[in-house]
Structure 1
Amino acid sequence: MKNWVCALTVTMLAGCGYFGAPVHEFDSTAKQLNLTNTVEGSWQRVCFITPYTDNQRAQKVLGFSFDVEKLTRIKNNDGVTLLVFIEDNQVEHYFETPRSNIDFTRITPTCIDREKAHFKLESNSNWTRAVFSGKGE
């Protein structure tokens, strides 16, 4: 009986836990990344939210409120970048991308229109970094 109660308690507690935003990884072996072709939806722009961003900073980047503190791990996790896809000043969808997959933390500008969401991927043996190119090649 004790084992059954323990198992039930653990299951209930796990159901209350936070598991973070959806996670998406890209092909980090490619030379280029075109988010227009890679990320579905009718989004008009993508914004890159970097580690340790709170709700106030996210609002400045996005131009509207979005509860990154509740919905994502970005405020306390330096291992991810949050990509937020926006249509008509509303979040269409968002996901975290591990920096160990592709590091988007140095992207400027922080928000990019869909038709310009093209990046060169620079790799060395330890990491892959996205660099904004603004055009397909």
Structure 2
Amino acid sequence: MELQAAVPKDWERVCILGPYSNDEAAMKTLGFNWPVEKHSSISYNDGIALLVFVRDRKVVKALEDPRRSGDFSDLSGRCFPRDKAQFVQQALPDDGWLRLVPRMEPDTSP
């Protein structure tokens, strides 16, 4: 999954907030105040992860992504630059969630 293609708006990085993230967690992750509790159900909904698209220290879009479609929650608190916002599904774990993890670039060093 390449988020650049999926979310064409003008953004520089995407930050991921997992279930039960609150305003304090959003500030720590984003690096600026944004009232996530006002704009999302993430603070009380464990069925989603929140993808927050940022440009110039401003939120340009926030998407509640159902975890059953692919679970970003293991990446909670992390941000990825637009050109690195590529994710793949990890093998199905015992708990039944389809994990999404960053796509690793092949090592081309000699």
Q: After the TM superposition, which residues 1-137 of structure 1 pair with which residues of structure 2 at under 5 Å, given as runs?
A: 33-107=1-75, 110-124=78-92, 126-135=96-105
* 1:132–1:42 distance in 2 versus 1, CA, 3 Å: same
TM-score by length of 1: 0.69
Equivalent AA in structure 2 for residue 128 of structure 1: L
Q: Distance in 2 between matches of 1:103 and 1:83?
A: 11
The answer on whether the counterparts of 2:29 and 2:77 sit within 8 Å (CA) in structure 1 is no
Alignment: residue pair count: 104
TM-superposed CA distance for 1:127, in Å, is: 3.5
TM-superposed CA distance for 1:128, in Å, is: 2.0
TM-superposed CA distance for 1:70, in Å, is: 1.2
Larger Rg: 1
SS at 2:5's partner residue? helix
Equivalent AA in structure 2 for residue 88 of structure 1: D
CA RMSD of aligned residues (A): 2.0
Report the identity percentage.
38
TM-score by length of 2: 0.85
Structure 2 alignment gaps of length 5 or more: none
SS at 2:71's partner residue? coil
